[in-house]
């Protein structure tokens, strides 16, 4: 443990050297975003990363905030395998909350903390091109797979890397809302973890960090799993220990690593300055997903 405040700064030195000049994709979950003070600390952390020569790219979620507006508007909603079933009325609300409210809130806070954030949705310069996603339905062995239509839910098909590189090279911090668009102009709701993973792969990011509202991946006994590989993940899934929003999150970590990202971690966004602790201290926190 560092003994003085100076020791703490010195502890950060090798990590800063290691990450300097590299790109980090940070997914800021809607569930980690609930408290005002924490949002400002997150904004400070992201600004600090930029000032020490690291390129942060933020992708944000907004599940609870979308639920809240849907409830106020008396629009019913449901999830299948952690993915929101999205009809046209729901899509309208999703886009309003993500692009109108939350994206601009994060941009405002980062800017107040000294960073130069720019809010984008997948529609800006075709940042996130998407195709409609269908979920395979679990069926008995040897029967043909059946697909479930969950509406206007998309899967990223391409990322406009040029736009992101242009912004980061100019010193800007992109803040991306997970809304995509297809060739015909149809708007899609995309799980923010999925967008973060696609962006991390497209940018060849050093690391993908997902901030959520749990300490990391928890086993059936409720204990934190510090390192999680593919086979243990499959086993936990089979036993039903992983559900809801953790399902797409783990898929995204794996696809980021398989796509060339050097690391993927799920950390507790409710811990003040979780991002700095994960990146710049010897202990890190949360769950590291490994291939
Ligand atoms: N084994 C597990 N360990 C930890 N969390 C789990 C597990 N299985 C399911 N979960 C759930 O996954 C949730 C995190 O995913 P969720 O989609 O709700 O949040 P998020 O992705 O951070 O936010 P948003 O979807 O708004 O961006 C946790 O709050 C927890 O309820
Ligand atoms: Mg989620």
pLDDT at 239 over 70: yes
pLDDT at 137 over 80: no
Taken as a whole, the chain contains a residue count of 291
pLDDT at 89 over 80: yes
Three-state secondary-structure class, residue 165 = helix
Separation of CA 57 and ligand 1 centre (Å): 21
Full domain range(s) for residue 98: 5-289
Q: pLDDT by residue (tens digit) across 36-86?
A: 899 999 999 999 999 999 999 999 999 999 999 999 999 999 998 878 999
In angstroms, the CA 25 to CA 209 distance is 6
Q: What does the pLDDT average to over 223-246? A: 94
Separation of CA 61 and ligand 1 centre (Å): 12
pLDDT at 142 over 70: no
3-state secondary structure 4-39: CHHHHHHHHHHHHHHHCCCEEEEEECHHHCCCHHHH
What's the confidence (pLDDT) of residue 141? 65
Q: How large a percentage of the chain has pLDDT more than 70?
A: 96
pLDDT at 2 over 80: no
pLDDT-wise least confident of 9-18, 76-85, 109-118, 269-278? 76-85
Confidence band for 291, pLDDT divided at 50, 70 and 90: confident
117-121 sheet: strands from edge to edge: 117-121, 173-177, 55-60, 23-28, 207-212, 263-268, 287-289, 227-228
Region class of 234: left (phi > 0), else alpha (psi between -120 and 50), else beta: alpha
In angstroms, the CA 191 to CA 41 distance is 24
Nearest CA-CA partner of 42 in 268, 240, 220, 281: 268
CA angle 275, 228, 286 (to 5 degrees): 25
Q: CB 34: neighbour CB atoms within 10 A?
A: 14
Q: How large a percentage of the chain has pLDDT more than 90?
A: 85
62 in contact with ligand 1, CB cutoff 6 A: yes
pLDDT-wise least confident of 47-51, 144-148, 207-211, 272-276? 144-148
pLDDT at 140 over 70: no
Ligand 1 pocket: which of 177, 197, 212 to mutate (most atoms <8 Å of CB)? 212
Q: List residues, by chain if needed, whose CB lies under 5 Å from ion ligand 2.
A: 245
Separation of CA 32 and ligand 1 centre (Å): 10
Confidence band for 149, pLDDT divided at 50, 70 and 90: confident
Q: Is the distance from CB of 35 to CB of 3 less than 8 angstroms?
A: no
pTM: 0.95
Ligand 1 pocket: which of 30, 214, 287 to mutate (most atoms <8 Å of CB)? 214
In angstroms, the CA 135 to CA 146 distance is 8
Q: What is the CATH number of the domain that holds 62?
A: 3.40.1160.10
Nearest CA to ligand 1 atom 7: 242
pLDDT at 139 over 60: no
The tally of domains found in the chain comes to 1
Confidence band for 1, pLDDT divided at 50, 70 and 90: low
What's the confidence (pLDDT) of residue 150? 93
In angstroms, the CA 125 to CA 47 distance is 24
Chain-centroid distance, C-alpha 25: 8
pLDDT at 138 over 70: no
What's the confidence (pLDDT) of residue 4? 82
Q: Is the distance from CB of 29 to CB of 192 less than 8 angstroms?
A: yes
Q: Is the distance from CB of 60 to CB of 177 less than 8 angstroms?
A: yes
């Amino acid at each position: 443990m560092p003994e003085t405040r100076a020791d703490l700064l010195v502890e950060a030195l090798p990590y800063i050297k290691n990450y300097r000049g590299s790109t980090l994709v940070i997914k800021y979950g809607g569930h980690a975003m609930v408290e005002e003070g924490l949002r400002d600390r997150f904004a400070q952390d992201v600004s600090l990363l930029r000032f020490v020569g690291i390129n942060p790219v933020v992708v944000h979620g907004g599940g609870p905030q979308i639920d809240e507006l849907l409830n106020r508007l008396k629009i019913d909603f449901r999830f299948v395998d952690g993915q929101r079933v999205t009809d046209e009325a729901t899509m309208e609300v999703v886009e309003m909350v993500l692009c109108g409210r939350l994206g601009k809130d994060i941009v405002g806070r980062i800017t107040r903390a000294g960073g130069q954030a720019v809010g984008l949705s997948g529609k800006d310069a075709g940042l996130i091109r998407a195709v409609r996603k269908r979920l395979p339905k679990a069926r008995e062995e040897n029967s043909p797979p059946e697909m479930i239509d969950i509406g206007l839910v998309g899967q990223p098909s391409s990322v406009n890397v040029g736009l992101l590189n242009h912004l980061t090279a100019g010193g800007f911090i992109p803040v991306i809302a997970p809304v995509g668009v297809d060739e015909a102009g149809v708007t899609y709701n995309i799980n923010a973890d999925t967008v973060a993973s696609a962006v991390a792969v497209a940018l060849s990011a050093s690391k993908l960090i997902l901030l959520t509202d749990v300490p990391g991946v928890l086993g059936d006994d409720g204990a934190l799993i510090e390192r999680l590989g593919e086979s243990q993940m499959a086993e936990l899934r089979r036993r039903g220990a992983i559900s809801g929003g953790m399902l797409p999150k783990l898929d995204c970590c794996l696809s980021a690593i398989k796509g060339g990202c050097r690391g993927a971690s799920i950390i507790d966004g409710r811990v003040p300055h979780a991002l700095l602790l994960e990146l710049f201290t010897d202990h890190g926190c949360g769950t590291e997903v490994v291939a």
